[in-house]
Amino acid sequence: MIRVETLHRHFGGFRAVDGASLEIATGSITGLVGPNGAGKTTLFNVIAGVLEPTSGKVFMDGEDITGMPPHALFHKGLLRTFQIAHEFSSMTCRENLMMVPGAQSGETLWNAWFGRGRIAQEEAGLLKKADEVLDFLTISHLKDEKAGNLSGGQKKLLELGRTMMVDAKIVFLDEVGAGVNRTLLNTIGDAILRLNQERGYTFCMIEHDMEFIGRLCDPVIVMAEGKVLAEGSIAQIKANDAVIEAYLGTGLKNKETVG
């Protein structure tokens, strides 16, 4: 679905992404790991149109999408989760979902003048959809809770829920499990697996927790110093000497987590 060709993103003289090439297969849950500073988030930002590449190309289903703005990619079904913006924290979970741009068919002037009935109908549809999403994510009980009152993990679930209000094809998740307790992490993992299996979502996720990666991701791509170092199953990655080498000196090698 996504092909990245010799992508560079430099900051001044610093090569945050330094000639990375990779592919994300349709229907996969592809993991992206690597030591801190490897360029993972920068790569995501370039793919999602948040940052312009210095050079290189990004293709989606064969179409050159290099440098397209996020909203254009959003309409193509390429989504990146965002933290719930501060100004939405006083809105309820349900309202947050109903506000997702693109979920509404749009309040054109025509609709505003002649389509009041249609808008009411659409609101009811949106409400139903939001409730279905909350149900899917097992957070129905939080529907009238203000987003600002949610725990870190519940916020992550709501962020994931926002992608379900539109027709997503591929969703990029940057450390969705960071700071989330085990129970909620499992709920998030279940939601990702179900979205993948039941709705055909493709995922690419940056994650530190190797147990979480191992449960969800195949293949796993390893980045180091702006380049793709290795790709394979979690078992292959863990046994790869170059990967182990890349984590040496980060102090993370012998711990549960890499990333």
Considering CB distances under 5 to 8 angstroms, the limit depending on partner class, which of ligand ADP, Mg ion, none binds residue 113?
A: none
- Residue among 28, 30, 41, 45 that touches Mg ion (CB under 5 A): 41
How many other β-carbons are positioned within 10 Å of the β-carbon of residue 105? 13
The residue assigned the tokens 């193509």 is 76
Is 39 near ligand ADP (CB under 6 A)?
yes
Q: Which is nearer to ligand ADP, 219 or 226 (CB)?
A: 226
The letter for the amino acid at 2 is I
Stretch that binds ligand ADP, among 32-40, 89-97, 99-107, 152-160 (CB under 6 A): 32-40
Q: Which residues contact 190 (CB under 8 A, 6 or more apart)?
A: none
Residues 140-159 that bind ligand ADP (CB under 6 A): none
The site for ligand ADP, by CB under 6 A, has a size of: 11
Integer CA distances (angstroms), 34 to 41, 59, 92, in order: 11, 23, 36
CA distance linking residue 47 with residue 33, whole number of Å: 16
Calculate the alpha carbon distances from 13 to 40, 172, 247 in Å.
Answer: 18, 27, 24
Q: Does 40 bind ligand ADP (CB under 6 A)?
A: yes
37 binds ligand ADP (CB under 6 A): yes
| 34 binds ligand ADP per the rule CB under 6 A | yes
Question: Residue 160: what residue type?
Answer: L
44-80: burial string, b at 16+ Cβ within 10 Å, e else: bbbbbbebebeebebebeeeebbebeeeebbebbbbb
Binder to ligand ADP among 2, 18, 31, 41 (CB under 6 A)? Answer: 41
Give residue for tokens 């749009």. 106
Please report whether residue 19 would count as binding ligand ADP according to CB under 6 A. Answer: no
| Residue closer to ligand ADP, measured from CB, 19 or 37 | 37
- Should residue 38 be labelled a site residue for ligand ADP when binding is judged by CB under 6 A? yes
* 220 and 31 Cβ atoms separated by less than 8 Å: yes
User: Which residue among 28, 30, 42, 96 contacts ligand ADP (CB under 6 A)?
Assistant: 42
Binding mask 190-209 for ligand ADP (x = CB under 6 A): --------------------
Give the amino acid at 111.
N
Residues making contact with Mg ion (CB under 5 A): 40-41
Residues making contact with ligand ADP (CB under 6 A): 11, 14, 16, 34, 36-42
